[in-house]
C-alpha cells in the first residue's frame, strides 16, 4: 500500500498550525474526510438535491436512489443479511438511545438486569441509566482489570439469565482495549441475552461482520470513519426490529394516519421519522466505498503497526504511564498520563507545536475514576498517519518535559 499517496486524498492534512505542519492525532474523536467524500457532498447539493421517498420528479428519484444505494453499501460494509436491517441515525449515541427507547422500554421490567462494562463511553451508560430508571431494571457493570481488559471471572458471575441486555464497547476509546466481542456475545446468546455492540471505534478500523460476531444490535458513527458528521448507522437483527415499536413519530415512518391512530411501516423506515440527513447518508456511502477500496484488512494492519510503534516509542518518555493493554494488541490509540504535566497543559503545549490531541476524561468518567487519573491525554491514529508523525509526537512530549519540569 502506498500510504503516502492515500494521505494525499485528505486536503485538510496539508496545512500548518501555529507555524508547524499539522499532526492530527485526534482521530478517535473524529476522523478527517477524503476529497471523494467532500466532493460527493457538494455534487449532491449542486446536482441532485431533493427530498427522498416523496416525489416522483427526476431530482427526487436521483436522491432516493443514491440514498437507498448507501443503505445497501452500509449493509455490505458490516455484513448485514439485508439492507432493511440498516437504520440511519445521527451517530452511535442516537443508535444506542433508539434501542433503549424502543426495544428496551418494550422488554425490560423490574428485576431485569442491563449489563454493561466499566469501560463504556457515556453514550453507552446514560441511555441505560435512563432506561433502568423508567423500568425499574438494574444496571450492572463488568469491572475492568488493571491491564485494561474485562474481568472474565466477574463476567461468569454477572452474565446470568436475569440479564436481558448486554451492551459493550467493541474497541475502547479511552484504553484502546479490543474486547473479545464474538466470544462474549456467544456466552450471552447461550443464555438468551440480547446483545448490543458500540462500534464507534471499530467500524472503519477493521472488517466488521455482524453475523459472524452474532450481535443483535451494532451502532457506529460515520464521522469517525471518513464520513460526514451527523450521520451514523444502527444495525438491528430483523427478527428483533420487526417486533419493536417506533421511537420518533412523523413523516416517512407511517403507512397511514387517521385522527385516532396510525399504522407504521416495516423496518428500517419505521425508525426513520422525518426528512433524513440525505447528503450525509450519500456521503457516508462514498466513505464506505473509499474505505473498501483501500481494504479494511489493510487499514487494520496499518492501524496495528502505528499503535505498536507508538507504544514502543512513547514508552521512552520518562514519567509516562500508558493506560490499557501494554501490548500492541490494541486499537489505534494510546492514552497516557505524564507525571510532569496535566493533560490540558500538555494538549496546549502540543497544539503550539502543531500536534492535535485530546486531553480529559474522553466521555468515560467512571473509567478515569477506576484508574485514579483526573484525565488522560490521547493520541489516536488513522491510516493516513505516519511513523514520522509518531516520531514528532515523541519529540514534542520530550520538549514538554523540558518545558514543564
Partner 1 sequence: MLSDDLRDLYQQVILDHSRNPRNHGELSPPCLHAHGDNPSCGDEIDVWVRVSDNGHIDDLKFTGQGCAISQASASMMTQKIKGKSKDEAAAVREDFRRVVMGDGSPADEDSLGELILLEGVQKFPQRVKCAMLAWRALEQALESK
Ligand X SMILES: Cc1ncc(COP(=O)(O)O)c(C=O)c1O
**Out of ligand X, partner 1, none, which partner does residue 344 contact, by CB within 5 to 8 A per kind?**
partner 1
When asked if residue 377 is in the footprint of ligand X (CB under 6 A), the reply is no
**Out of ligand X, partner 1, none, which partner does residue 361 contact, by CB within 5 to 8 A per kind?**
partner 1
Nearest to 238 by CA among 275, 282, 280, 271: 271
Distance CA 12, CA 30 (A): 13
Of the candidate spans 77-85, 87-95, 281-289, 306-314, the one that interacts with ligand X by CB under 6 A turns out to be 87-95
Give the containing element (helix H, strand E) for 326. Answer: none
Give the containing element (helix H, strand E) for 235. Answer: strand 232-236
Degrees, nearest 5: CA angle 1-213-119? 90
Distance CA 119, CA 184 (A): 15
Query: Residue numbers of the site for partner 1 (CB under 8 A)?
Result: 18-19, 341-345, 348-349, 352, 359-361, 365, 368, 374-375, 403-404
When asked if residue 97 is in the footprint of ligand X (CB under 6 A), the reply is no
> Prior bond to 295 cis, omega within 30?
no
The site that binds ligand X (CB under 6 A) totals a number of residues, namely 14
When asked if residue 93 is in the footprint of ligand X (CB under 6 A), the reply is yes
Q: Which is nearer to ligand X, 96 or 310 (CB)?
A: 96
When asked if residue 221 is in the footprint of ligand X (CB under 6 A), the reply is yes
Q: Which of 23, 75, 86, 91 binds ligand X (CB under 6 A)?
A: 91
Query: In the complex, what is the shortest distance from the CB of residue 199 to ligand X, in angstroms, rounded to a whole number?
Result: 8
- Which residue among 363, 386, 391, 403 is the active-site one? 363
**Out of ligand X, partner 1, none, which partner does residue 173 contact, by CB within 5 to 8 A per kind?**
ligand X
Pairing of strands 23-24, 20-21: unpaired
Burial 271-303 (b: 16+ CB within 10 A, else e): bbbeebbbbbbbbbbbbbebbeebebeebbebb
At 88 the three-state DSSP class reads strand
Q: Which is nearer to partner 1, 199 or 359 (CB)?
A: 359
Concerning whether 363 is annotated as a catalytic residue, the answer is: yes
Pairing of strands 217-221, 194-198: parallel
Query: In the complex, what is the shortest distance from the CB of residue 376 to partner 1, in angstroms, rounded to a whole number?
Result: 10
Q: Which of 92, 179, 195, 376 binds ligand X (CB under 6 A)?
A: 92
Of the candidate spans 120-128, 207-215, 276-284, 349-357, the one that interacts with ligand X by CB under 6 A turns out to be 120-128
Q: Is 367 exposed, middle or buried (CB count within 10 Å of its CB: 0-12, 13-18, 19+)?
A: buried
C-alpha distance from residue 232 to each of 77, 101, 134, 219 (Å): 13, 17, 26, 8
Q: Which is nearer to ligand X, 123 or 376 (CB)?
A: 123
Residues 265-294 within binding reach of ligand X (CB under 6 A):
none
Query: In the complex, what is the shortest distance from the CB of residue 372 to partner 1, in angstroms, rounded to a whole number?
Result: 11
Residues 190-209 within binding reach of ligand X (CB under 6 A):
198, 200-201
Query: In the complex, what is the shortest distance from the CB of residue 225 to ligand X, in angstroms, rounded to a whole number?
Result: 10
Kindly state the cell numbers that stand for 113: 438486569
Residues 340-369, mask of contacts with ligand X (x by CB under 6 A):
-----------------------x------
Query: In the complex, what is the shortest distance from the CB of residue 331 to ligand X, in angstroms, rounded to a whole number?
Result: 10
Distance CA 184, CA 158 (A): 12
Query: In the complex, what is the shortest distance from the CB of residue 175 to ligand X, in angstroms, rounded to a whole number?
Result: 10
Tell me how crowded residue 262 is: count the other CB atoms within 10 A of its CB. Answer: 13
Q: Which is nearer to ligand X, 71 or 90 (CB)?
A: 90
Query: In the complex, what is the shortest distance from the CB of residue 324 to ligand X, in angstroms, rounded to a whole number?
Result: 13
Distance CA 244, CA 228 (A): 28
Residue 194 has phi, psi (to 5 degrees) of: -75, 140
Nearest to 234 by CA among 286, 167, 299: 167
Kindly state the cell numbers that stand for 162: 436475569
Q: Which is nearer to ligand X, 48 or 198 (CB)?
A: 198
Residue ranges binding ligand X (CB under 6 A): 28, 91-93, 121, 123-124, 169, 173, 198, 200-201, 221, 363
Catalytic residue set: 363
Amino acid at each position: 500500500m502506498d500510504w503516502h499517496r492515500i494521505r494525499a486524498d485528505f486536503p485538510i492534512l496539508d496545512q500548518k498550525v501555529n507555524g508547524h505542519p499539522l499532526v492530527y492525532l485526534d482521530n478517535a474523536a473524529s476522523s478527517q474526510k477524503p476529497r471523494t467524500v467532500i466532493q460527493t457532498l457538494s455534487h449532491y447539493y449542486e446536482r441532485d438535491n431533493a427530498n427522498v421517498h416523496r416525489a416522483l420528479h427526476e431530482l427526487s428519484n436521483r436522491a432516493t436512489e443514491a440514498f437507498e444505494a448507501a443503505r445497501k453499501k452500509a449493509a455490505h460494509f458490516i455484513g448485514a443479511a439485508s439492507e432493511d436491517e440498516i437504520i440511519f441515525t445521527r451517530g452511535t449515541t442516537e443508535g444506542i438511545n433508539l434501542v433503549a427507547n424502543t426495544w428496551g422500554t418494550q422488554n425490560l421490567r423490574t428485576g431485569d438486569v442491563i449489563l454493561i462494562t466499566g469501560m463504556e463511553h457515556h453514550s453507552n451508560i446514560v441511555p441505560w441509566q435512563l432506561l433502568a430508571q423508567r423500568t425499574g431494571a438494574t444496571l450492572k457493570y463488568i469491572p475492568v482489570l488493571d491491564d485494561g481488559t474485562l474481568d472474565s471471572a466477574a463476567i461468569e458471575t454477572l452474565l446470568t439469565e436475569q440479564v436481558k441486555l448486554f451492551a459493550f464497547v467493541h474497541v475502547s476509546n479511552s484504553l484502546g482495549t479490543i474486547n473479545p466481542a464474538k466470544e462474549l456475545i456467544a456466552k450471552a446468546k447461550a443464555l438468551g441475552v440480547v446483545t448490543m455492540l458500540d462500534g464507534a471505534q471499530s467500524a472503519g478500523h477493521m472488517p466488521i461482520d455482524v453475523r459472524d460476531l452474532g450481535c443483535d444490535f451494532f451502532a457506529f458513527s460515520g464521522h469517525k470513519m471518513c464520513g460526514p458528521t451527523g450521520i451514523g448507522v444502527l444495525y438491528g437483527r430483523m427478527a428483533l426490529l420487526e417486533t419493536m415499536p417506533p421511537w420518533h413519530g412523523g413523516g416517512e415512518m407511517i403507512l397511514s394516519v387517521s385522527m385516532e391512530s396510525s399504522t407504521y411501516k416495516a423496518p428500517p423506515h419505521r425508525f426513520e421519522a422525518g426528512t433524513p440527513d440525505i447528503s450525509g447518508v450519500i456521503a457516508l456511502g462514498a466513505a464506505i466505498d473509499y474505505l473498501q477500496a483501500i481494504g479494511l484488512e489493510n487499514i487494520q494492519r496499518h492501524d496495528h503497526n502505528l499503535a505498536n510503534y507508538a507504544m514502543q516509542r512513547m514508552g521512552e518518555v520518562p514519567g509516562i504511564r500508558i493506560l490499557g493493554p501494554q501490548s500492541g494488541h490494541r486499537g489505534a490509540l494510546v492514552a497516557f498520563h505524564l507525571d510532569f504535566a496535566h493533560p490540558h497543559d500538555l494538549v496546549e503545549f502540543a497544539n503550539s507545536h502543531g500536534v492535535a490531541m485530546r486531553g480529559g476524561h474522553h466521555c468515560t468518567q467512571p473509567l478515569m475514576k477506576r484508574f485514579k487519573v483526573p484525565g488522560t491525554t490521547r493520541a489516536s491514529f488513522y491510516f493516513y498517519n505516519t511513523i514520522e508523525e509518531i516520531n514528532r509526537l515523541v519529540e514534542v512530549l520530550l520538549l514538554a518535559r523540558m518545558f514543564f519540569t
